[in-house]
Chain A
Amino acid sequence: MPILEASGIRKQFGGVVALAGADFSLDAGAVHALIGSNGCGKSTLCKIIAGSVAADAGTIRLDGNPVSFSDPQEAAAAGIGVFYQELSLVRPMTVAENIYLGREPRMRTGLLDRDALRSQAENALEQFRSVIGTGVHPDARVADLSADQSQLIEILKVLAANPRIIILDEATAALDRNQVDAVFHRIRALKADGCAIIFITHRMDEVFEIADRVTVMRNGLTVLSQPIGQTSHDEIVAAMVGDVMPPARRERKHVPAQETALEVEQLSAAKLAGVSFKARRGEILGLGGLHGQGQSALLRALFGALPLKAGSIQVDGKRLAPKGPRTVMRRSIAYVSGDRARHGVMAIRPIFENLVISLLSRERRVVVQTERLERETRPFIERLKLKFSSLQATVAELSGGNQQKVVLARWLATHPSVLLLDDPTKGIDIQTKEDLYSTMDELCSQGVCILLHSSDDEELLGISDRVLVFNGGRIVAELTGEQRNRQALYEAAYATAPAAA
């Protein structure tokens, strides 16, 4: 009898169907891998099992008995421990306080026993001592740790509760090979003790190394579940992709020119391991792959927002040293982030200021000539169909889509020749997307070179002239012509990442 069994789980967020009747069954003493593309519902399924999200329908059985947890504490009491993809650490608190949050050792008086807390944490850290790097000790603040160190601490936090069912949601995403080995070592020991583990990863090699069984999800459904010995890499990818339909390709009015606009050679930075490519004028060059494989890092590095370690960049045949956004923008390069709130708008300031800020920096003028600036930005406002009540209204009053248009118009007003788009359509409505696509098309016909990173695979495949697939900080495939389909994209994206340099 399975220790945990979920059947017919449904969950909808507003109009988005996250789970459409997913089934999942977990055996004691086994590692069960869960795999599927971004947004297919893995995390939601885990959160429902862990009681932090309520299902719309479906049943969950624990040891054969139906349960329904109304909060994570109940699930924890039943022996379920969860590593949350977004981490559950309290950043201002120390490593020791985080690991034992809610179960701190107490003295007889009921007061916190600091010494015991510290020595327990010291013991817990011991198992990762050789791989966790420097600066991690019980009193270190979590805020000062790097991403991989934080992940290891989150793992320790989960294990500190001695759960019998352990859910690891992309727990190895930021870890290097040695760290993964240390985690696997621990997982094997837990398995031997009879624990059941749900292991979510995007790395196929990890699945084959640690899992006893694999379940593939697609569009909120569990579409394949097999013992690991009875399946193959190809079968798993095929299940993730589903029926291969050619992506709806947008009609492009313009054919890219032959001239090279941007040439990048052996670019290295944090998360980038020697990237080389050429992009032409009038071309939309897509950057795809799993989340965080170097697509964003590349765009930020090109724009001078991420320090380079090595490599060379040529724009229109001339060398570019990206010291910072200000030096880069002077070479007619623009960058638009999809993270509007953090990296786009100045929300409480008027639309006008948000529109002209980059043009002002570019022109290096002292005085703000309101009328002239309005005249110069108006064509782009109209082109993007920006809807607003007054240029003096704050950006915060606009919808997300219109905010994104403000950021794009800000940069179009500087007449860029290379446009770096970092997931620009994240979380915006279809109509706005259409407006952005048609604007991109028009820019291409004016000879602008566009680098587009998109987390929406359909969009990426549908509007790019070529797609570079990123994996582990490298370009592992270039998809052109008919190759621009999901199958080819996933094959490359889920392939074992080449060892980082």
Chain B
Amino acid sequence: MTQARMLALLKRPLSIAILAILVLLAGGELLSPGFASPRQIVTLLTIAALLGVVAAGQNLVILGGREGIDLSVGGIISFAAFLAGNVMQQQDAYLLQAVGTVLLATFCIGLVTGLGVTWLRIPPLVMTLGMLGVVQGGLVLLTRGVPSGRAAPMLSRIVSEPLLLGLPGILFIWILIGVVLTLVLRRTTFGLNVYAIGTNEAAAALAGVPVRLTRTLLFALSGLFAGLTGILLLGYTEYVFIGAGDQYMLPSIIAVVIGGTSLAGGSGGYIGTMAGAIVLILLQSILTTLNIPPFGRQIVFGVTLLGLMLLYGRQRRLRG
């Protein structure tokens, strides 16, 4: 392949991600036959959907720039799962109420984070880390370390049982989020404002973009998506676990980066992030197949992130 064509390929992170998905599937199948069977793929997609939904919020915050990042998502997911489990108490009748309560609560948590970042000008890294501490601490206070709450049967069915074409409801929810978010980013004033503030905040403000409002909303939405993930995770695990969401923080960021969204903000989109989430889940699954312990996976994830940063950093230099 010529260098120019390779470069052209490098410029499209989405195509790299799709290529990676195919390679990982083939690799997995080689290592352990049955890895790429339809049933197994559906399971993997279900897990990817959970990651994909948190990553949606992470994606928005990162697109908004000014070192936008949300480290509180893990805590919020755990909190959301706990709250959902305790409101619905295994009863379908309380499901809607539980969903509403959780989404409202997590949206508000994100709102507070957003206000801290915009009005108090606290760097996102610090603000979301602080919020993570508050949420985790609050959760310990509420549960006293003893988890409680269980999923409503309907919720578990939505997440794990086939709904249509052999696919579980959660995948349709994910696709819906994908379509809506992509339309919002590309076809609404809010979406254009997000890209504008992520690219050049000062210029955006002078062009009449409501910079603070937009950025505050991004963090609120990130809270909301983390909340939704918490609900879906409860459906997947059925029981509430303490710290169930902790494992999502780093992967949600990596999925966004694999998907081609720049950590500097202002460029990228959600379709790439969806592909990124699938890549990451495949990678994780292969590592599990290889009997790599969890800390080994963490290392691989960390190295993947650093490798991608190097690759994209280099690409930017080549472009500039």
Contacts and interface: CB of A to CB of B under 8 A. Distances in A.
Interface string A336-379: 01000011111111000100111011101111101000000000
A274 interface: no
Interface string A180-203: 000000000000000000000000
Nearest to B204: A346
A335 interface: yes
Given A349-B196, A353-B196, A362-B208, A342 B266 contact: no
A362 to B, nearest CB: 7
26 contacts: A325-B205, A343-B206, A345-B203, A346-B195, A346-B196, A348-B199, A348-B267, A349-B195, A349-B196, A349-B267, A353-B196, A356-B192, A357-B196, A357-B207, A360-B192, A360-B193, A361-B189, A361-B207, A361-B209, A362-B208, A365-B189, A368-B186, A368-B188, A368-B189, A368-B192, A410-B207
A187 B162 CA distance: 85
Contact of A335 (B202, B204, B206): B206
A365 B202 CA distance: 22
B301 interface: no
B210 interface: yes
B192 to A, nearest CB: 5
B266 A348 contact: yes
B239 interface: no
B223 to A, nearest CB: 22
B188, B203, B267 — most chain A CB neighbours (10 Å): B203
Given A360-B192, A361-B208, A367-B189, 20 more contacts: A305-B205, A343-B202, A344-B203, A345-B203, A346-B195, A346-B203, A346-B204, A347-B199, A348-B199, A349-B196, A349-B199, A357-B192, A357-B196, A357-B207, A364-B189, A366-B190, A367-B188, A368-B186, A368-B188, A368-B191
A303 interface: yes
B309 to A, nearest CB: 18
| Main secondary structure on B side of the interface with A | helix
Contacts of B208: 325-326, 329, 357-358, 361-362
A144 to B, nearest CB: 14
A364 B209 CA distance: 10
Interface residues of A, number: 30
A368 B187 contact: yes
Nearest to B267: A348
Assign chain B's interface to a size class: 20 to 34
Interface of B: 186-193, 195-196, 199-200, 202-210, 266-267
A329 B93 CA distance: 50
B189 A346 contact: no
Contact of A347 (B189, B200, B207): B200
Nearest to B320: A396
Contacts of A305: 205-206
A364 B186 CA distance: 16
A370 to B, nearest CB: 8
Contacts of B189: 360-361, 364-368
Q: Which 4 A-B pairs have the closest CB atoms?
A: A361-B208, A346-B199, A360-B189, A357-B207
B204 A357 contact: yes
A364 B190 CA distance: 10
A346 B266 contact: yes
A184 to B, nearest CB: 37
Contacts of B187: 367-368, 370
B210 A326 contact: yes
Contacts of B190: 366
A410 B186 CA distance: 19
A300 to B, nearest CB: 9
Given A348-B266, A367-B187, A367-B188, A358 B207 contact: yes
Contacts of A353: 192, 195-196
B188, B189, B266 — most chain A CB neighbours (10 Å): B189
A342 B202 CA distance: 7
Contacts of B204: 346, 357
B210 A361 contact: yes
B148 to A, nearest CB: 42
A342, A347, A349, A365 — most chain B CB neighbours (10 Å): A349
A353, A362, A370 — most chain B CB neighbours (10 Å): A353
Contacts of B267: 348-349
Contacts of A361: 189, 193, 207-210
A478 B7 CA distance: 58
Contacts of A348: 199, 266-267
A356 B186 CA distance: 13
B199 A357 contact: no
Nearest to B183: A367
B203 A342 contact: yes
B216 to A, nearest CB: 15
B205 A346 contact: no
Contacts of B206: 303, 305, 325, 335, 337, 343-344
Nearest to A422: B206
A305 to B, nearest CB: 6
